[in-house]
Amino acid sequence: AQSVTQLGSHVSVSEGALVLLRCNYSSSVPPYLFWYVQYPNQGLQLLLKYTSAATLVKGINGFEAEFKKSETSFHLTKPSAHMSDAAEYFCAVSLPTGNQFYFGTGTSLTVIP
């Protein structure tokens, strides 16, 4: 079975500090991995996705994530947090076959001025 675990339901960082949001997955086959962001009262928006090409994936708004098979992780990072990064972030996994996406429970990011 597939599952996604996001450690830390709430993360606070100072403006300008490193953002690190953790995501671990379990999958019986090599998965595809996604990070989505949800701003207040909006739908989810794709930040980036891993599709078995480069293990370091760059997304929008300066975010990137690295696929580490040995650690079954796909952590999201940004070198310098901005106030506009405050939002809910969701990690998701899907399989090359099938039609389900499995989402984590989300991490709420607060940026402190």
Binding residues for another protein, per CB under 8 A?
4, 6, 9, 32, 34, 36, 41-46, 49, 51, 90, 92, 94-106
Closer of 97 and 113 to another protein (Cβ)? 97
Query: Nearest distance from residue 70's CB to another protein, in Å?
Result: 22
Query: Nearest distance from residue 14's CB to another protein, in Å?
Result: 25
Among positive and negative, which fits the CA dihedral 2, 98, 31, 59?
negative
Contact partners, residue 99, CB within 8 Å, separation at least 6: none
Query: Nearest distance from residue 74's CB to another protein, in Å?
Result: 14
Closer of 51 and 80 to another protein (Cβ)? 51
For residue 18, the SS3 value is: coil
Closer of 66 and 101 to another protein (Cβ)? 101
Closer of 50 and 75 to another protein (Cβ)? 50
- E strands present in 1-113: 3-5, 10-14, 19-21, 24-26, 32-38, 44-50, 56-58, 64-68, 73-78, 87-94, 101-103, 107-112
For the chain, the farthest-separated pair of C-alpha atoms sits apart, in whole angstroms, at 44
Query: Nearest distance from residue 66's CB to another protein, in Å?
Result: 18
